[in-house]
Amino acid sequence: MDYRRTYRSAAVTFVDLVGRVPADRLDGPGLGDWSLRALIGHTLSSALVQVPTVLGTPTAPVNVAAPEGYFAFVRDVPAEVYAAALAASEVDAHDSAASIDDAGALAGRATQALAAVGDDDVVSTPVGGMRVRDWLPTRTFELVVHGTDVALAADVPVEFDPAAASEATLLAAKIAVALGDGPVVLRALTGRASLPGTFSVV
């Protein structure tokens, strides 16, 4: 799977989706306590805005060696650190919501930054050093997962490229395994059992 192509494809699909969200829906429900506007802002920030900064900050050594390790790391931090990160994310979501009209330009800057780095370059991410080829799929995951959230909240159809959807789904399964929930997910996917109502890999 070409992680560069899936990221670019997911970014294009998300930008198109944002452009089709009715303006009168933006201040309505989005996800959890977030309005739709804040949800879009969070996605723009996490999946587009931060990409040039991260890719432009080389570092060493590798602290997280796989995409699923990114999310497993976040789950494993102390509760107060996790709470502070969530609070900061909420503030950032509201701040980035002002960039909705610039979604296309943000995607352009992100993909340009991606073209300037190598697969094995190590960059500084929020969880430490990661190879570009390991970190970028976590951004594609954000675009696909939150893109689906946005589409449902706005009642606007969206269809991500099958390769991008496959990459995101596979990463979700790998996160489950990394968190020790692999058997639970496998049984659910094969019709043996249902997932608990509050189950999530993120």
Domains of the chain by start residue, with CATH: 3-179 (1.20.120)
Q: What pTM, to 2 d.p., does this model score?
A: 0.93
Instruction: Give the list of residues 6+ apart from residue 91 with CB closer than 8 angstroms, or none.
Output: none
Q: What is the pLDDT of residue 98?
A: 73
Instruction: Give the separation between CA 145 and CA 165, rounded to whole angstroms.
Output: 9
Q: Of 6-10, 33-37, 93-97, 142-146, where does mean pLDDT reach its minimum?
A: 93-97
Higher pLDDT, 91 or 9: 9
Q: Give the model's confidence band at 91: pLDDT under 50 very low, under 70 low, under 90 confident, else very high.
A: low
Q: What is the pLDDT of residue 99?
A: 76
Cα Rg of the chain (Å, integer) = 17
- Residues 43-51, mean pLDDT to the nearest whole number: 96
Alpha helices by DSSP H, the chain = 3-20, 36-44, 50-55, 67-75, 79-96, 103-115, 132-154, 162-178, 182-189
Q: What are 71-85's pLDDT values in tens digits?
A: 998 877 666 655 555
Q: Is the pLDDT of residue 135 over 80?
A: yes
Q: What are φ and ψ of residue 140, in 5° steps?
A: -60, -40
Beta bridge mates, 123 = 58, 130
- Asked whether the beta carbons of 161 and 10 are under 8 A apart, the reply is yes
- Asked whether the beta carbons of 59 and 122 are under 8 A apart, the reply is yes
Q: Give the model's confidence band at 188: pLDDT under 50 very low, under 70 low, under 90 confident, else very high.
A: very high
Quote the tokens at residue 140.
């594609």
Residue at token pair 């802002």: 41
